[in-house]
Amino acid sequence: MTASDVSKQMLAIAAAAAEATGAEDLVALDVSEPLPLVDIFLLATGRSERNVAAIADEIEEKLLEAGHKRLRREGRQESRWILIDFGDLVVHVFHEQERAFYGLERLWKDCPVVPIDRPAEAIAD
């Protein structure tokens, strides 16, 4: 299996929102082979708890505006690692210390990296 076009569109929206709020080190992984219910993991890093929360909130807002349904969100209260599940796309927004500690890139190293395309409206800004 490979990530669907809809998942890639969701990824573009989420990545643009993350970058707009100061996210760093964005990496998208195609996890559709080992996880049949998810296509893409987006990993992003914030510099502080406030930044992590702002990144997650902006991603969620933009995906909801685009008509995608959030299935669940975890970690908002502590804002050290926020997970937002949109079904085909699962977003992980980490504080930089948690990202280094948990090392999801290492855990999913066999999964291909998905190029992050920018939506046309994000490029125009």
Convert the pLDDT of each residue in 89-101 to its tens digit. Answer: 999 999 999 999 9
pLDDT of residue 2: 82
Query: How far apart, in whole angstroms, are the C-alpha atoms of residue 32 and residue 99?
Result: 22
Domains of the chain: 5-115 (3.30.460.10)
pLDDT tier at 122, thresholds 50, 70, 90: very low
**Is the pTM of the predicted complex or chain greater than 0.95?**
no
What does the pLDDT look like over 20-71, one tens digit per residue? Answer: 999 999 999 999 999 888 999 999 999 999 999 999 999 999 999 999 999 9
Residue 120: is its pLDDT beyond 80?
A: no
Neighbouring residues of 42: CB distance < 8 A, sequence distance ≥ 6: 11, 14, 15, 18, 26, 27, 28, 89, 90, 91, 92
Residue 39 has phi, psi (to 5 degrees) of -95, -50
